[in-house]
Amino acid sequence: MKKDIHPDYHPVVFKDAGTGHSFLTRSTATSDRTVEWEDGNEYPLIVVDVTSESHPFWTGAQRVMDTAGRVEKFQRRYGNRIRRAKKN
């Protein structure tokens, strides 16, 4: 393996800006801001907009698009034109 080609991979705390939830993981991301973690050590702090704590997919607050209504609306508008074209 070549030396000195890999980025610095170190512990980092990520904090969700919306919920305030923080988690410690390893990353190549760096920051000038630091935070003291539960183990008493200081780690770089990266504030992010969305995590699994606030993303609608993971919280169950996602909206389901009404695609059936859109298809029906399309059929009402253009369905007759398509059927007439096939008959000719």
pLDDT, tens only, 4-59: 898 999 999 999 988 899 999 999 999 999 999 999 999 999 999 888 787 767 67
Output DSSP code: residue 53. Answer: T
**Range of the structural domain that residue 31 is part of:** 10-87
Candidate ranges 39-43, 47-51, 76-80, 83-87; pick with highest mean pLDDT:
39-43
Q: Is residue 2 part of a domain?
A: no
Q: Is residue 3 part of a domain?
A: no
Q: Is residue 74 part of a domain?
A: yes
Q: Is residue 65 part of a domain?
A: yes
Q: Is residue 62 part of a domain?
A: yes
Query: In the chain, how many domains are there?
Result: 1
The token duo for 20 is 């305030």
Q: Is residue 61 part of a domain?
A: yes
Contacts of 1 (CB under 8 A, 6+ apart): none
Q: Is residue 72 part of a domain?
A: yes
Strands (E) located in the chain: 10-16, 22-27, 34-36, 42-48
